[in-house]
Amino acid sequence: MDTNGWARRTIPTLFERSRSGANDGSHVPPADGPAPAALLGDDADLLADAPPPLPEVGEAEVVRHYTHLAARNMSVDANFYPLGSCTMKYNPRINEWAASRDGLAALHPLAPAATAQGALRLLHELETYLARIAGLDAVTLTPAAGAHGELTALKVITAYYHSRGEGRSKVLTPDSAHGTNPASCTVCGRLAVPIASRGDGRIDLDDLRAKLDDQTAALMITNPNTLGLFETDIADAAELVHAAGAQLYLDGANMNAILGITRPGDFGVDAMHFNLHKTFSTPHGGGGPGAGPVAVASHLEPFLPTPRVVHREGAYRLLWEAPQSIGPMRSFAGQFAVCVRAWCYIRALGGEGLRRASETAVLAANYLAAKLKTVLPLPHDERCMHEFVLTASRRGASDRGLAGRIAKRLLDYGFHAPTVYFPLIVEEALMIEPTETESLATLDAFVAAMREIVAALDEDPHALDDAPRARSVARVDETAAARQPVLRWRPRM
Ligand SMILES: *Cc1c(COP(=O)(O)O)cnc(C)c1O
């Protein structure tokens, strides 16, 4: 991608490139509506006295400017992106095409149902597909991300218990959980209680048994878990949770490993969220966009947020009134464009295709794990699911910070860094998720890079101190970035 070295060159801002007269606007047709002053009427004095100080640059310069800036970024389109847990797979372009059709992209969220039957049908069908994949009874598409799905489901569970006159303020989460799990509990006013992991990385049933009581609302579990291991005791855990009158909640961020192979409803889950942007193709990163639909068993359905998408008397519509609902969790019916992409992805692959995607993701992860465990230790050395966690800590204290430095050197090789320092239960963790969309050649190139990096390190413990060398930004001072953030940038004019 970066054949001209744009990753390293200083790129002047458009303001710095501005030349008076470079763009006289002659290729833009004159506006044919009323003059701004006429539109403003009595408020015409609000008009600025002079045009805004925009840079004057030609169209080709603008295009090249942004293309060069884009070349400085790591992206799924340009680089292998083995960011564990995030499922950064290649996103088929046809989904982008579909999501940008005028009839879908330009549809007003308040359009009368009669004029939006196709869009409502798409949402309704997507709910049906996700319910089937989950092995559960009902789905809401409204949550805007995985974490928002967790919060939505916790509110649903809380409302369910309130309807039965029960308080139940505790939510149990394994110590390998994603940070959003305890955070969502806190935002929902529940108390997050950690459950220990056993030596083999699975939930400790004895600790679960000890902490379950009549104040427990749910066990919030990720399966496959954040070590990339299937929770082999999940059925027993479900039985314990249900015997205590609590709910089993699944963080479904790792569904990429089990689509069509097992259904959460079959292993005892009462409620779960999907991350559409991870499992069902939407380019994501840098904070969005995403969607975190929640699937529930029938006893929780009455409490799902509004609006619900319903199909009655041959027509689709949004239902805003539901007596026991927790109410809206956001504006309108959800992240519509993300839902369109997920619908397309599911329709294009079909049941067989989804299963094959998961099988391929698991195969790719096991291939990489088998190769890379000869480079760095694999603490939980067994058949993994769609991801696995290496440790850069071979010598204890003197290896502190090594996972971060290896990650930064990988950038010099043109690979995005894996997830580092998560899950917290593995020291110097490097969490690697190849996904199903990478070729064998790419996986082999990644192994070769890792081998070279670790060999260089073994020769010279300071070999990675200057990483990354080949990117636009060298090693950043993360402490200063956190303590003295620069939140405002002014153009030099
Ligand atoms: C990504 C992720 C989340 C949070 O999802 P967002 O969509 O980023 O809010 C929660 N749990 C796990 C295991 C994840 O990987």
Same-domain pairing of 377 and 307: no
- Give 213-267 pLDDT, tens digit per residue: 999 999 999 999 999 999 999 999 999 999 999 999 999 999 999 999 999 999 9
Query: Contact at 8 Å (CB) between 472 and 465?
Result: no
Residues shown for the chain: 493
Determine the distance separating the centroid of ligand 1 and the alpha carbon of 253, expressed in angstroms.
Answer: 6
What per-residue confidence (pLDDT) applies to 1? Answer: 46
Within this chain, do residues 103 and 15 fall inside the same structural domain, yes or no? no
228 lines ligand 1 (CB under 6 A): no
Residue whose CA is closest, atom 14 of ligand 1? 253
Q: pLDDT category, 51, cuts 50, 70, 90? A: confident
CA 74–ligand 1 middle distance (angstroms): 21
Integer CA distances (angstroms), 313 to 126, 139, 150, 317, in order: 20, 20, 33, 10
**Residue 331 within a domain:** yes
Residue 313 has pLDDT above 60, yes or no: yes
Residue after which a domain boundary falls, among 313, 348, 383: 348
For residues 203 and 231, give the distance between their C-alpha atoms in angstroms, rounded to a whole number.
Answer: 7
Among 314, 348, 382, residue at a domain's last position:
348
- For residues 322 and 187, state if they share a domain: yes
% the chain with pLDDT above 90? 80
Q: Considering the chain, what is the average pLDDT of its residues? A: 93
Same structural domain, 165 and 218:
yes
Q: Is residue 40 part of a domain?
A: no
Is the residue at 155 inside a domain? yes
- CATH assignment of the domain containing 249: 3.40.640.10
Model confidence at 6: pLDDT above 70? no
Structurally, the chain folds into a number of domains equal to 3
- Whether 290 lines ligand 1, by a CB cut-off of 6 Å, is yes
Note whether 212 and 118 are same-domain residues: yes
Q: Are residues 161 and 192 in the same domain?
A: yes
Tens digits of per-residue pLDDT, 344-399?
999 999 999 999 999 999 999 999 999 999 999 999 999 999 999 999 999 989 99
User: Does residue 270 share a domain with residue 126?
Assistant: yes
For a substitution probing ligand 1, which of 86, 275, 422 has the most ligand atoms within 8 Å of its CB?
275
Q: Is the CB of 178 under 6 A from ligand 1?
A: yes
Pairing of strands 138-140, 294-296: antiparallel
Assess if residue 17 is contained within a domain. Answer: yes
CA 329 to chain centre: 19
Cross-strand bridge partners of residue 430: 390, 420
Report the nearest atom of ligand 1 relative to the CA of 87.
15
pLDDT one-digit tens code per residue, 315-342: 999 999 999 999 999 999 999 999 999 9
Number of C-beta neighbours around residue 477 at 10 A: 9
Residues 166 and 274 placed together within one structural domain of the fold: yes
In a domain, 87, yes or no: no
What is the residue range of 65's domain? Answer: 7-21+53-72
pLDDT digits (tens, 9 = 90+) for 90-137: 999 999 999 999 999 999 999 999 999 999 999 999 999 999 999 999
- Return the CA Rg of the chain: 26
Tell me the percentage of the chain whose pLDDT exceeds 70. 96
Nearest CA, atom 7, ligand 1? 146
**What pLDDT sits at residue 287?**
66
C-alpha–C-alpha distance, residues 304 and 301, integer Å: 5
Q: Is 145 touching ligand 1 by the criterion CB < 6 Å?
A: yes
Is residue 488, in this structure, part of any structural domain at all? no
- Residue spans of alpha helices (H) in 256-401: 276-279, 336-372
Torsion sign, CA atoms 201, 204, 205, 208: negative
Q: Which atom of ligand 1 is nearest to the CA of 177?
A: 13
**Ligand 1 midpoint to CA 424 (Å):** 15
Q: Whose CA is nearest to atom 5 of ligand 1?
A: 146
In a domain, 407, yes or no: yes
**Same domain, residue pair 306 and 180:** yes
**Domain limit, last residue, from 299, 329, 348:** 348
CA of 353 to the centre of ligand 1 (A): 24
Distance CA 387, CA 405 (A): 21
pLDDT in tens, 282-312: 988 776 689 999 999 999 999 999 999 999 9
Q: What is the token pair recorded at 166?
A: 């029960």
Which residue has its alpha carbon closest to ligand 1 atom 3? 146
Q: Which two tokens stand for residue 428?
A: 């110097």
Ligand 1 in reach of 258 Cβ (< 6 A): no
Alpha helix segments (H runs only) across 106-233: 117-134, 146-163, 180-187, 205-211
In this structure, are 181 and 326 located in the same domain?
yes
Ligand 1 proximity of 335 Cβ (cutoff 6 Å): no
Q: Is the peptide bond before 302 cis (omega within 30 degrees of 0)?
A: no
Closest by CA position to 447, among listed 374, 383, 360, 363:
374
What angle separates helix 336-372 from helix 117-134, to the nearest 10 degrees?
30
* 279 pocket-lining for ligand 1 (C-beta < 6 Å): no
- How far, in Å, from the CA of 274 to the mean position of ligand 1? 9
The amino acid at 273: H
**Which residue out of 86, 87, 175, 178 has the highest number of ligand 1 atoms within 8 Å of its CB and is therefore the one to mutate?**
178
β-partners of residue 391 are 429
- Residue 291 CA to ligand 1 centre (angstroms): 11
- Output the CA torsion sign for 371, 374, 378, 381: positive
Same domain (yes/no): 317, 393: no
**Among 172, 178, 181, residue whose Cα is nearest residue 208:** 172
pLDDT of 492 > 60? The answer is: no
Name the more confident of 288 and 204: 204
Closest CA to 221 of 189, 248, 192: 248
| Residue whose structure tokens are 């879908």 | 104
For ligand 1, atom 11, the nearest C-alpha belongs to 178
CATH number at residue 437: 3.90.1150.10
Q: Is the CB of 147 under 6 A from ligand 1?
A: yes
On whether residue 282 sits in a domain, the answer given is yes
Identify which of 83, 148, 151, 251 to mutate to test ligand 1's pocket (most ligand atoms within 8 A of the CB): 251
Residue nearest to atom 15 of ligand 1 (CA): 85
Ligand 1 atom showing the smallest separation from residue 180 Cα: 10
Distance 181 CA to ligand 1 centre (A): 9
Do 343 and 372 fall into the same domain? Answer: no
